[in-house]
Amino acid sequence: MKTAARIAKLPPYLFAEIDKKRREALARGVDVISLGIGDPDQPSPDFVVDRLAREARDPATHRYPPYEGTRDFLQAVAGYYDRRFAVKLDPEAEILALIGSKEGLAHLVWAFVDRGDAALVSDPGYPVYGIHTLLAGGEVVPMPLLPERGFLPDLGAIHAADRRRATLMFLCYPNNPTAGTADLGFFREAVDFCRENDILLVHDSAYLELTFDGYEAPSILQVEGAKDVAIEFGSLSKPFNMTGWRLGYAVGNRKAIAALGVVKTNTDSGQFAAIQRAGVEALTNPGARGFIEKMRGIYARRRDIAVGTLTRLGCPVVKPRGSFYVWAPVPKGHTSASFASHVLDKVGVIVTPGSAYGDWGEGYFRVSLTLADERLEEALRRLATCVSW
């Protein structure tokens, strides 16, 4: 049986490989603690679960939903942006419901990248950006995210030839995997760059609500004129612990929303309407902000536990202001991959090698804070027995 040549060029999907190694270690009887995948350990809010239970019993939700999303969900997203960022959105033309933001990011590539085109991709970055660029026959042009720049790309360093070939630029702040953050000043620079070079600016804002120490992450759409060149992807997965529910949205540039809609209507039939109604509850319930603040407190405490332990071990880690990740350099004598293998083999702890997110992630590893405090503390105690910086 012949498979398509395009998939032979792709590396194994990062998180599937991590899960495979976890299962292999468990089969050997190892008490594995995973600091790998960013999947919240806390439950979804009761008010969201209760809404789903009610709506799932309504026969009206059992039919195909509107392709673009239910009207109430689109209006709820518009209301959220108005309250949170003072950004006005037209639910009819500037918002699209997604089956999780991951599929939207992947499908957008197919709407804008032809063979020979290029995408400017943050490196290190979420693998989906680059993988789907390659699947579509495009070329990935990495934008290095360096610690000395606060993990912001140097847009001025992008070669003229790459600017001409690029149709998309991918950004993500608060950043996965580096936990770097951006302000409106940088977003203005990115909007201006993309306008000057006729590039669609794609902002993955999955971690926008997970911030600490008084920092509030902006939406890129707060930049004046951003909707001329930008589309932003949001998700209910991270702020409301709804990863398994698969519900997100795309907002912004009308042409980009319409183009993404063309791909999606030829690919899927939308998310279960009862889940979209539960999403309305997440975005509009009076208790939503309190729930987000509670989760911020949990992750801030875990961040301090992780950063404190790594610092005591001599690791020069920077305390992040966003996301639920800690991005840290590996000890001398290790590559990212060798360090990840070392700690799994020696003490049964899974960390994500930075090189899995791109060449510029080499020399780093990522810790996810999405597990109970006691298991996080145990994992860090184990690390302390087998590594030092």
Both 74 and 104 in one domain: the answer is yes
What is residue 232's DSSP assignment? E
In sign, the C-alpha dihedral spanning 158, 15, 208, 366 is negative
Separation CA 179–CA 322 (nearest Å): 6
- Report the pLDDT value the prediction gives residue 21, as an integer from 0 to 100: 79
Does residue 14 have a pLDDT over 70?
no
DSSP string spanning 329-373? EPPTT--HHHHHHHHHHHH-EE-EEGGGG-GGGTTEEEEE--S-H
Q: Which of these, 275, 303, 341, lies nearest to 65 by C-alpha position?
A: 275
Residues 141-186 have pLDDT tens digits of: 999 999 999 999 999 999 999 999 999 999 999 999 999 999 999 9
- What average pLDDT does the chain have? 96
Burial of 364-389, coded b for 16+ CB within 10 Å and e otherwise, reads: bbbbbbbbeeeebebbbebbeeebee
Both 362 and 232 in one domain: the answer is no
Both 115 and 24 in one domain: the answer is no
Tell me the CA end-to-end span of the chain in Å, nearest whole number.
49
Does residue 258 have a pLDDT over 70?
yes
CATH (domain of 365): 3.90.1150.10
Separation CA 73–CA 76 (nearest Å): 5
CATH (domain of 272): 3.40.640.10
- Report the pLDDT value the prediction gives residue 6, as an integer from 0 to 100: 86
Q: Which of these, 322, 377, 330, lies nearest to 356 by C-alpha position?
A: 330
At residue 10 the predicted structure's pLDDT band, cuts being 50, 70 and 90, is confident
Number of separate helices (H) and strands (E) present in the chain:
13, 12
Alpha-helical regions (H) of 96-171: 101-112, 127-135, 160-165
Does residue 9 have a pLDDT over 80?
no
At residue 115 the predicted structure's pLDDT band, cuts being 50, 70 and 90, is very high
Both 269 and 309 in one domain: the answer is no
Domain span at 338: 5-43+289-386
- Report the pLDDT value the prediction gives residue 24, as an integer from 0 to 100: 87
**Structurally, how many domains does the chain consist of?**
2
Separation CA 164–CA 79 (nearest Å): 37
Both 50 and 23 in one domain: the answer is no
Report in angstroms the alpha-carbon separations of 349 from 19, 59, 317, 341. Answer: 12, 46, 19, 9
Both 136 and 238 in one domain: the answer is yes
Please give the model's pTM, rounded to 2 decimal places: 0.96
Last residue within a domain, chosen from 267, 284, 301: 284
> Is the distance from CB of 295 to CB of 302 less than 8 angstroms?
no
- Average pLDDT in the 203-216 region? 98
Q: Name, in order, each residue with C-beta under 8 angstroms of 82's C-beta and a sequence gap of 6 or more.
A: 88, 89
Phi, psi (rounded to 5 degrees) for 238: -85, -45
Both 344 and 221 in one domain: the answer is no
Whole-number CA gyration radius for the chain: 21
- Report the pLDDT value the prediction gives residue 13, as an integer from 0 to 100: 67
> Is the distance from CB of 306 to CB of 367 less than 8 angstroms?
yes
Residues 49-104 have pLDDT tens digits of: 999 999 999 999 999 999 999 999 999 999 999 999 999 999 999 999 999 999 99
Query: How many percent of the chain have pLDDT more than 90?
Result: 91
Last residue within a domain, chosen from 284, 308, 338: 284
Both 260 and 329 in one domain: the answer is no
Phi, psi (rounded to 5 degrees) for 360: -80, 0
Both 28 and 62 in one domain: the answer is no
Residue 282 one-letter amino acid: A
Cβ burial of 173 (10 Å; 0-12, 13-18, 19+) is: buried
Both 153 and 184 in one domain: the answer is yes
- Looking at per-residue pLDDT, the higher value among 329 and 26 belongs to 329
Both 271 and 298 in one domain: the answer is no
Both 338 and 260 in one domain: the answer is no
Last residue within a domain, chosen from 284, 319, 350: 284
